[in-house]
Each structure stands twice: as C-alpha cells, then as structure tokens.
Amino acid sequence: MGSMGRVRSKFNPELEWLAARRELLKRVKRDVRQRLGPEPADVTEYAARYERELRARYTVSSKDELLSTLRDADIVYGGDFHALGQAQRTHLKVLRGIEAKREVTLALECFPISSQKWLDAYLAGEIGLDDLFLKSEWEKTWGFPRENYGPLLEIAKRRSWKILALNRRGQRGSSLKAREKAAARVIAQHRRRDPRSLIYVIFGDLHLAQEHLPAQVRRAIREEVKDVIVHLNSERIYFQLAKKGLEHTTDVVRFRDGSFCVLASPPWVQWQSYLLFLERTVDTALEMGDDFDPTDQVVELIRLAGADLGIKPKTDDVSVLSSEDARVWKVLEEQLGRAELEIARDLLARGKGFYLPGAHTGFLGRSTINHAGVLAGQYLHAKLSGLERTLWRLPVDFTALIWAEAAAYFVSKLVNHKRQSETLTDLKAQLLRQNSTSADKEVLKLSLDRLMSELVLVREGRSRKMQFQPRRKSSYLEAARICGGMLGERLYIAYRSRKLKKEEIVRLLRWNPTSQGFSRRYENLLKSLAQLVGTEAHGTRLRIKSRPERL
C-alpha cells in the first residue's frame, strides 16, 4: 500500500465518525469567521433566538406530511442558506410537490424591491433570465451563485406564478430588522391584493424564528393567517439524529407548533459551501490578498474520507487549481497532448472538474462541496490504485472511467451523504422531456444502454453488446459520470448498511482499472452488489421507521 498507510481497526467507528465531523464543522466555521471578521451583534442575537426555538421537541416526519400541511397554508416561510445549492433545490422540490391548480406567489429575499419591474418583465416574457440577473444587478445586490436560484424562477414562470422581490437594499447595507419590516410590508400588500394565493417566502433561515419575520408579517397583515415555517439543516437536530443512527434516513422533522425542519445536507457541507463561496468572490479576494488555495479544502476532505476508511493518506504531493486560476491552461498545456487538451477544455467549460494522476493536479470545475468531494475521491482512488494516466481513451476506457467515477462518487458520499445519484427512472423521464437537446439525449441514451447491458449481465449472467453508439466523445464522459454515480451510490449503501466492511472498500479502491483482469473483477462486483443492495440505488435506501420516533 506504500504511502497510503495501513488499514486499522477502530473500537467505535460511529463515535469516531461523529467526532471527526464535529471537528470538521468547528474548523470550517472558524475559517469562515476569519474571512468575515467579527460577527455583528444583531446576527449573534438572531442566531441565539433561532437556536432557542429549534430546541423544541420534534418527531420524525416526511415530505408527504410537509406537503399535506402546506395545502391549507396561507404563507410558507422557507429557510435559505444562500451559498448552498441544496438549500434552493430543497425548496424547488417542495414547490414541485404543490398541486398544479394552486395559485402560488414566490417571494424572494434574493431580489431587491427595486427590481420588481424586471421580475414582472421576466414573467411576461419580455426579458430572459440572463437579462433579469443583469438588470437587477444580481452580483452587486446579492452575489450568491445565480445558477442555484434560476430553477426557482423558471418554475414560477412555467406555472404562471407571481414573484415578489423582498430585499430592502439587496444583501448589504440594511439592519436585519429593517429588512424584515420592508419584506413584511411587501408580503402584506400582496396578501391584501391577492388573498387566495399561497405566498411561499424564501428568506435567510435566521430570520424565520417566530418573533422575527413571521411576527413582522402578522403585524403588517393585521388579520389571522395560517403560516408554516420550514427551517433548514439544524446542526443540533442533525447530530441528535446521528447519535441514533437516523441521519441517513430522516429528511424531515416536525415540531409541536406545526413548523418543520428539512435536513437537506449535513451541517459541515453547508458551511464548507459558504467557505468555498467566500474564497472565490472578488471582494473577499481583494480584502484577503491572493492567498486562497483550493488545495486546502480538497485535502481536508481527503483526510476526512481517509479517517472513515481507516487509512492515513499522504497529501503533500497534491495540488488543486480552481477553474478561475490563471495557471490552469499553462499546466494543462504542459501535461496534455492535443486530444486530451480538448477534452479538458470541454470539461472545464461545462463546470466539470478532473484529476491528472501523472501531474498530481486536480482541477475544481465549480466551487461546491460535492465537486470538491469528487475531486478528493479521484485523488484517493488514483493514489490507492496506482493509476498514472487519464481515462480519456474513449470508448476503450469507458468501463474503466465508470469505475473511477464510482470510486470518486463513493468518497464524495462520505463527505455529503445527502447527495443522490440519478436513477433509471430519472434518466427515462429526462429522455422524454421535450426541451432536452440532442447532446443531452445522446448522453441519456448511452447511459441507459450501458445500464441495460449491466442489468442483463446481473440478471441473466450473460454479456450484452451495447446497441447505441454516440457521435460525441464528450457523451462517454458524461455517461460515465452518471453510471459511475449510480454504482457509487450502491457501494455507499452497502458500506453504510455494513454489508461491505471498510477494509473491503479500501481493497476496491485499490483496483487499477487499466490493469489486466479488471473487467472480470468489475463484472463480479456488479453481481455481488445486486445481491447485497439491488440494482437501483434509491429503491434500496434504508427505510424510515413506520412509526415516528420521539426525540
């Protein structure tokens, strides 16, 4: 095993798992505070009130119970952690679950009130999404990743909903209370104009304690309304569930007062996302100087995964560059030939990261925790297996690339166990969408063909030659990511359900997909996983107990 160290046994792996993540959370929060400076007094006060409210008793709930409760609501307050894409996707999933016939108004903190005319123009089809962000001065007034908020705007337009801008002066320049009062006035005015519409508010989570924004709205409306608060990612609740082994199976809890908390991601994930956001913004870079190195973030995740698996990876040889780094193209041109350089350009243009084993250098396509986790997995797999080259000789390397993606995805699940891969059902639904491009359809067809070949192998014990031949080499890259993610999901389920021991996972990560005999080992693994956890990951997820457990 060389520099990777030895697999060691642990007396209580669950307690060590929790301790490692508590320590990671503490370090990440400390790093965030170092970049932001002292916490303002009003933020400290708001945070204390928010935490007190979430100390109430709760029971394990479900998305179905949440949606059922929203049917009778007049106003929903949804918590937002602005730098975490999963926060916005959580509300998108909830909004998709609201009955199509229901009138909905989406009320957003991320737009200043002065931009209401541009939101109206977007909904009327007079300007597009890019123009909306430009005219509302998104980068100046908000600045968090706009690609995470775009789908919220698109669903509102598609369903003919209204959108309200709630922020007094954008993100900066107003006290918390003043911004709440301004937002409450906008909500109250709309409620009087359109009392039948469900108002779905997406606002920073600290504002959603009962005595904050909800109280301001009640005073402004001056009539009784039924409101529901949907908090997001309580650290306290997450670690309480983790102590009972319920963090993997519990996505929603309900409090006695009828409010909810959705656990969309582990707490260290959202703070790591915030740290990555801070370190790539221009304003912060100007204040800090040119000292950001994404290597530190990826190395932290490599060590976290290594600790879970009982190994001590040496990371002194790894270097990570962000896609914005001016050195990227020089490094790539020095390391890659013309054909590989074109693949690298295509990947970075699509926001995809990758690792060059020969150069010990990773490239972070997007500053998100999932992307950083995958890059950590690519490094760990290459180091363990002795992989020395990229797997871009396609289609010859297709199976090898799927395995490398599976290994990387598995490691990213150790970092963020709430992320999920696609399923066969997802792929089929995407293929049927009318707005899918020809390139997207090619990827989906290739992925489905590959998965069907693997299903035939598992169920009938015979090889099936793939039927679909794509025109684009990039389709192999994306299909390998999809298929590898689904395989990595099954590996993770087998690991967390204790059907695969960590020593066995480490042995799998040592597989070099360019070595002789790899194909046979890969086929045997598919058959073994089918017996252990089935062939489709999400259908075999650990189930929530049928009776809610009081915590």
Segment 58-78 shows an average pLDDT of: 96
Query: pLDDT value at position 367?
Result: 83
pLDDT of residue 371: 92
Full set of structural domains in the chain with CATH: 39-265 (3.40.50.11550), 293-540 (no CATH)
Mean pLDDT of 296-324: 91
Q: Which residue has the higher pLDDT, 514 or 537?
A: 514
Closest CA to 485 of 547, 532, 426, 429: 426
Task: For residue 265, name the pLDDT band (cuts at 50, 70, 90).
Answer: very high
Residue 170 reports pLDDT greater than 90: no
Which has the higher per-residue pLDDT, 87 or 222? 87
Average pLDDT score over residue span 353-382: 93
Q: Residue 18 has what pLDDT?
A: 86
pLDDT for the residue numbered 326:
82
Mean pLDDT computed over 523-544: 72
* Least confident piece of the model among 188-197, 256-265, 274-283, 426-435: 274-283
> Which pLDDT does position 283 carry in this prediction?
39
- 171 exposed, middle or buried (CB, 10 Å; 0-12, 13-18, 19+)? middle
CA distance 520 to 65: 46
Q: In this structure, what token pair is assigned to residue 485?
A: 């993610």
Distances (CA, A) of 438 to 435, 483, 528: 10, 19, 35
pLDDT, tens digit, 9 for 90 and up, residues 429-463: 888 886 778 888 999 999 999 999 999 999 998 88
Q: Which amino acid is at 175?
A: S
At 439 the pLDDT is 87
- Structure confidence by residue, pLDDT tens digits, 4-30: 444 444 456 677 888 889 999 999 999
Determine contact, residues 60/250, Cβ cutoff 8 Å. Answer: yes
Distance between CA atoms of residues 48 and 45, nearest Å: 5
More confident residue, 285 or 236: 236
Average pLDDT of the chain is: 89
Mean pLDDT of 355-382: 93
3-state DSSP call for residue 80? strand
pLDDT for 173 equals 46
Q: Of the candidates 2, 21, 10, 525, which has an alpha carbon nearest to the alpha carbon of residue 305?
A: 21
Report DSSP letters for 84-128, one per residue: -HHHHHHHHHHHHHS-TTS-EEEEEEEEEGGGHHHHHHHHTTSS-
92 versus 248: the higher-pLDDT residue is: 92
**Quick one: pLDDT at residue 13?**
67
pLDDT for 248 equals 87
Torsion of Cα atoms, 428 then 429 then 430 then 433, to 10°: 120
What's the CA gap between 365 and 298, in Å, rounded? 13
Tell me: the pLDDT tens digits for 96-113? 999 988 999 999 999 999
- pLDDT, residue 542, reads 35
Identify the pLDDT of residue 281: 65
Q: Is 128 exposed, middle or buried (0-12, 13-18, 19+ CB in 10 A)?
A: exposed
pLDDT for position 169: 65
534 or 434, higher pLDDT = 534
pLDDT at 264: 93
Share of the chain above pLDDT 90, in %: 71
Sheet holding 75-80, edge to edge: 58-60, 252-255, 260-262, 227-232, 75-80, 198-204, 104-112, 162-167
Q: Give the confidence band of 544 by pLDDT, cuts at 50, 70, 90.
A: very low
> Taking Cα atoms as reference points, which of 433, 348, 349, 401 lies closest to residue 518?
401
Share of the chain above pLDDT 70, in %: 91
